Structure 1
Amino acid sequence: MKCYLCKYIPPRTDFLATMTDEEREWMKQHGAFLDDLLDRGLIVAHGPVMDPSGGYGVSLYRIADDQNIQAITSEDPIVRNGAGHYEHHPMLHLNVRS
């Protein structure tokens, strides 16, 4: 298994406060996408971080060795629509309470 902390970087620092209607719809799709990955066991947690210098999203992934983290996150609707990108940070391991 491979583990990652993935950080969703929005297209602008005030994104949550200034989203267009179209971006708001993409964010709903983004949440559904991440919830599906959570249900499938690829993500163990995800959520927004309210950083005063600009919010962002965090997801903790635990994926099979033959899976590609960039391929997975590139399918996120918010990314597919060009509204931000992910940083991928490998982790040595990920302990989770069951």
Structure 2
Amino acid sequence: MKYYLCKFLPPRPDFLKTMTPEESSLMKQHGMFLNDLLEKRMVVVHGPVDDPAGGWGMSVYEIEDDQDINAMTSEDPMVKSGGGRYEIYPMRHLRARG
């Protein structure tokens, strides 16, 4: 298994406060995309981060060795629309409660 911390960067620092209706719809699709991966056990956790410098999203992926994290994150509706991007950080291992 491979593990990644993925930081979703929206198009502007005040994005969460200034989304257009179209961007709001894309963000709902973004959430559904991540929830689907959560149900498929490819995402361990995800959610928004309230950063004073500008909000962003965090997700932790746990994927098979033959899966490509860049290919997976490129399917995010926000990324496909050009409305955001990911910074991807490989993790050496993952330990969790429970």
The number of aligned residues is 98
Counterpart of 1:38 in structure 2 is: 38
Unaligned 5+ segments in structure 2 are none
Q: Give identity over the alignment, percent.
A: 61
Moved over 4 A (4+): none
TM-score (norm 2): 0.98
1:11-56 superposed Cα distances (whole Å, 9 cap, x missing partner): 0000000100000000000000000000000000000000000100
1:90 aligns with 2:64: no
Alignment partner, residue 69 of structure 1: 69
For residues 32 and 97 of structure 1, what CA distance do their matches in structure 2 show?
25
Tell me how large the CA RMSD over aligned residues is.
0.6
Matches of 1:96 and 1:68 in 2, distance apart?
23
CA separation in 2, counterparts of 1:53 and 1:12? 10
